[in-house]
């Protein structure tokens, strides 16, 4: 179901109740209006952080998966049973309308399948994608939205804080279950850590070595597991009996997030697997390929339900310098600073939206657009003290790094002189920085 206004969602639910349930007007009001205050009461009384992070407005949950998570979480709270049993003789004051809303979502999904099947099937996500942009633009933040969009087959973008909190909670739960994995690349990260390698066995009585699977191999294994725990049996069948579509791979999307993907030696880390991650070479696709892993000698292929999401800080290393093999196999999405997200935020007379816009204009002019400053450095700034920390601990050090501590250039970016930069207080400097020209 596409994401629509919550009031419109409520209206659709009311219409569904009128057409499918023989209920009075007072009951209709109870199921669609009063239920919200009851849910809010449960969440307010709760001592459970998961429950407290929920949005009580059920109309914000417009996919069955998201709503099922909401119901499961709120029912886990002891206050649910207490409030559910008051005011209604049968069915439950809270559980009955929740049951109806869940049925409404299921029916609406079926209707969409019947009448908008082409539209639903057009929601597609690249198997390999990289979010790139300057520091502080929310690339890691957006990996949660990208991952949950794939999981729910719904495109999440510019969600509210409450919605993001709900998605992040589910994201963390799926991460614990192994359906989502997260890793950060760095200069010394290796194939042996990522795929498989021989490592010392510290638990052995005598010095020994053991074969250990890396995060990439593990999530590939998880994505082809069936109900049985006997992985060898399932995986061997998937690899060797390709014609059976045992290759349905449980049909559950699995996601590997690689933060700072450009900071590692990609050719060394992926090795021969760089070819296998291509969409048409995934197991189950047209030109599927498999290899023999060097350490375990295991036959290995990359499943077609594994999505790889990378992030790349363009201030660390230009895309032009990135491994060509990697660039050919990934879709790239630019995540740039969004000063408009700071609209209306004024601290000590400094308009944060204008400040960020002016600083980035000068950085682009003196360096390039890849070294701008992201909005996340200022997004949570509401007081003078927070502004001072953001300037002294984040913005100024970043500018010094960009311009190799050339104070004169840093001063120009901040629209002041070198002397003023050294002598003036930070409020005066930032007041100058938000202006168009030197005064």
Domains annotated on the chain, with CATH: 6-121 (no CATH), 183-334 (3.40.50), 339-433 (no CATH)
Task: Give the Å distances, CA to CA, from 439 to 217, 239, 407, 429.
Answer: 59, 70, 19, 12
At 428 the pLDDT is 95
Classify residue 291 by burial, with Cβ atoms within 10 Å: 0-12, 13-18, 19+.
Answer: middle
At 130 the pLDDT is 94
- Between residues 204 and 396, which one has the greater pLDDT? 396
Q: What number is the average pLDDT over the span 102-107? A: 88
Q: Which pLDDT tens digit goes with each residue over 168-186?
A: 999 999 999 999 999 999 9
Range of lowest pLDDT (209-223, 241-255, 404-418): 241-255
Find tokens 């990609």 and name the residue.
Answer: 266
Q: What number is the average pLDDT over the span 27-41? A: 90
Q: What number is the average pLDDT over the span 351-370? A: 95
At 254 the pLDDT is 96
Q: What number is the average pLDDT over the span 40-61? A: 89
- Say yes or no to pLDDT of 91 above 70: no
At 22 the pLDDT is 81
Return the structure tokens found at 45: 């009384």
CA 376, distance to chain mean position in Å, is: 16
Q: What number is the average pLDDT over the span 427-431? A: 96
| pTM over cut 0.75 | no
Range of lowest pLDDT (1-5, 145-149, 150-154, 256-260): 1-5
Residue 245 half-sphere exposure, CB side, CA atoms within 13 Å? Answer: 3
Mean pLDDT of the chain: 85
- Say yes or no to pLDDT of 204 above 70: no
Proportion of the chain above pLDDT 70, given as a percent: 86
Return the structure tokens found at 173: 């739960």
Q: What number is the average pLDDT over the span 92-115? A: 76
pLDDT band at 226 (very low <50, low <70, confident <90, very high): low
- Say yes or no to pLDDT of 140 above 90: yes
At 206 the pLDDT is 74
3 state SS for 123-181: CCCCCEEEEEECCCCCHHHHHHHHHHHHHHCCCCCCCCHHHHHHHHHHHHHHHHHCCEE
Q: What number is the average pLDDT over the span 142-159? A: 92
């Amino acid at each position: 179901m596409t994401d629509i206004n919550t009031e419109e969602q409520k209206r659709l639910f009311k219409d569904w109740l009128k057409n499918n349930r023989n209920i009075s007007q007072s009951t209709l009001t109870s199921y669609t209006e009063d239920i919200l205050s009851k849910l809010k009461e449960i969440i307010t009384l709760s001592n459970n952080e998961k429950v407290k992070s929920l949005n009580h407005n059920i109309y914000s949950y417009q996919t069955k998966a998201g709503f099922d998570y909401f119901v499961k979480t709120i029912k886990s709270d002891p206050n649910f049973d207490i409030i559910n049993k008051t005011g209604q003789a049968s069915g439950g004051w809270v559980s009955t309308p929740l049951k109806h809303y869940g049925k409404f979502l299921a029916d609406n999904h079926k209707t969409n399948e019947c009448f908008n099947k082409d539209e639903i099937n057009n929601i597609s996500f690249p198997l390999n994608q990289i979010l790139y942009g300057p520091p502080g633009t929310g690339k890691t933040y957006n990996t949660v939205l990208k991952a949950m969009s794939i999981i729910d087959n719904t495109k999440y973008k510019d969600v509210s804080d409450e919605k993001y909190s709900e998605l992040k909670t589910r994201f963390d739960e799926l991460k614990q279950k192994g359906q989502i994995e997260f890793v950060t690349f760095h200069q010394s990260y290796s194939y042996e850590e990522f795929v498989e390698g021989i490592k010392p066995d510290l638990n052995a009585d005598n010095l020994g070595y053991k074969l250990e699977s890396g995060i990439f191999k593990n999530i590939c294994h998880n994505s082809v597991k069936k109900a049985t725990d006997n992985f060898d049996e399932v995986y061997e069948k998937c690899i060797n009996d390709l014609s059976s579509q045992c290759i349905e791979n449980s049909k559950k999307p699995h996601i590997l997030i690689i933060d700072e993907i450009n900071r590692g030696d990609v050719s060394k880390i992926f090795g021969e697997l760089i070819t296998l991650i291509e969409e048409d070479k995934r197991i189950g696709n047209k030109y599927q390929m498999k290899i023999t892993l060097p350490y375990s000698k295991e036959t290995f292929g990359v499943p077609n339900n594994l999505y790889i999401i990378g992030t790349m800080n363009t201030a660390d290393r230009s895309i032009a310098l990135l491994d060509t093999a990697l660039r050919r196999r990934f879709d790239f999405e630019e995540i740039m600073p969004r000063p408009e997200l700071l609209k209306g935020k004024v601290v000590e007379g400094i308009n944060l939206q204008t400040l960020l816009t002016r600083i980035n204009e000068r950085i682009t002019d003196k360096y390039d657009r890849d070294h701008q400053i992201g909005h996340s450095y200022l997004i949570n700034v509401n007081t003078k003290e927070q502004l001072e920390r953001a300037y002294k601990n984040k913005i100024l050090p970043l500018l010094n790094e960009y311009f190799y501590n050339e104070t004169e250039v840093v001063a120009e970016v901040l629209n002041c002189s070198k002397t003023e930069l050294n002598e003036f207080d930070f409020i005066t400097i930032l007041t100058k920085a938000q202006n168009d020209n030197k005064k």
